[in-house]
Amino acid sequence: MSEDARREELLYRMALTMIGGIGPALAKNLLAYCGSARKVFNTPRGKLEKVPGIGKERAERIAQSDALQRAEQELKFIEKHRIDVLFIGDTSYPQRLLECADAPILLYYKGCANLNANKVVAIVGTRRATEYGKELTRRIAEELSAHGVMIISGLAYGIDTVAHQAAVEAGAITVGVLGHGLNTIYPRQNRNLAKRMLEKGGLLTEYASSDVMRPENFAERNRIVAGMSDCVIVVESGQDGGALITANIANAYHRKVFALPGRVHDKFSRGCHALIRTNRAVLIESAEDVMRAMQWSGKETGTAAAPPPRQLALQLGEEETRVHRALQQHGETHIDTLAEATGLNPSVLASVLLEMELNGWVVSLPGKRFKLAT
């Protein structure tokens, strides 16, 4: 692909995320149906209306959107500041996120860390951390860093900040997942820390520099923190703390969740105690407990191994099994033929095919044709 073609495709990919009312799930449907981000903008409105979940109103919104103009401005920004754009399906995209249905289709990344490291742990907790919580966080982060674990968190006040600082001081890799664009750092007090993190780690976000910083962004970014990790450690949290949101998302993603106990009547430990009491988290006292529970040993570096074959998932998923069987029988097949062979609704089929493609089981070919990956 030429540089001009690559730049144009990048422009359309960013623009797709800038259309109002089109979240990750609908964007994936559009990609599966149209074939590429560029084709989404060049598909006739009448055909877009038939894409699962789009309908007349959203098709109209796509047609009249100023997303391409906004993307042009964003492209200038990322080129000026040497920001990488990670698109779903790219090898540099965090592969663990592919297991999460609501994963963003596009991420902005500045840094040098491999986001597909062998061992990734999220450390989260309250913004109003106690000295007890800060000391535990420092110790856990330092010990995990010594084992070659990449530490991720949200660069917020409190536990997040301490986790990042401890990793940086240990000379380890740490990545901050932001609730805003890379044009700023929030909170301001963490600007110097963020610069230090870029030396070995990085900063990651799904938000463009033009996106307004909203309170709900910080709750939404928690799903990225949870999804990118092998496990999540909650150090301190109140009963309604944001760290509990991350823990609950991690449980939904089938990630292991660990929590450190605190003093019985300490309000900043109530969230951790609730997680432990309701079996939503495993009680730990040290990084060694985490290493043992995760069955990790020794200091390792490099890239995570490719995700294991998902044969079991295919056997258990009815729709995936039907698609797999049809492709085995017919070989390279048009999507309309697949719909007839499987009896699946086109909207369901499009989603299933995209999921199978992202997991490496299916290859998408020109002309809406598909075949099993070899």
Q: Summarize pLDDT for 191-245 with one digit per residue, the tens.
A: 999 999 999 999 999 999 999 999 899 989 999 999 999 999 999 998 887 899 9
Which pair of structure tokens corresponds to residue 209? Answer: 């520099």
286 DSSP 8-state letter: S
pLDDT value at position 337? 85
3-state class (DSSP) for residue 17: coil
54-68, 139-153, 308-322: least confidently modelled range: 308-322
Which tens digit of pLDDT belongs to each residue from 68-102?
A: 999 999 999 999 999 999 999 898 999 999 989 89
Residues 32-41: tens digit of each pLDDT:
889 899 999 9
Q: Which domains does the chain have, with CATH numbers?
A: 3-80 (1.10.150.20), 109-293 (3.40.50.450), 311-372 (1.10.10.10)
- pLDDT, tens digit (0-9, with 9 covering 90-100), for 148-185: 999 999 999 999 999 999 999 999 999 999 999 999 99
Q: Which residues pair with 111 in a beta bridge?
A: 202
Mean pLDDT, range 341-361, rounded to an integer = 79
* Whole-number Å distance between alpha carbons of 363 and 354: 9
At 326, the amino acid letter reads A
Q: Say yes or no to pLDDT of 301 above 80.
A: no
What strands, in cross-sheet order, belong to the sheet with 106-111? 84-87, 106-111, 202-205, 174-177, 150-153, 120-124, 231-234, 256-259, 282-283
Whole-model pTM: value is: 0.79
Specify the pLDDT at position 316: 36
Percent of the chain past pLDDT 90, that is, above it, reads 66
CA distance 115 to 138: 22
pLDDT at 3 over 60: yes
- Residue 347's pLDDT band, with cuts at 50, 70 and 90, is confident
Query: Cα dist. 183→8, 77, 138, 180, 284 in Å?
Result: 22, 9, 28, 8, 37
Percent of the chain topping pLDDT 70: 93
Higher pLDDT, 192 or 297: 192
The set of long-range contacts for 59-63, using a CB threshold of 8 Å and a minimum separation of 24, is 61/19, 61/20, 61/21, 61/22, 62/19, 62/22
Mean pLDDT of the chain: 88
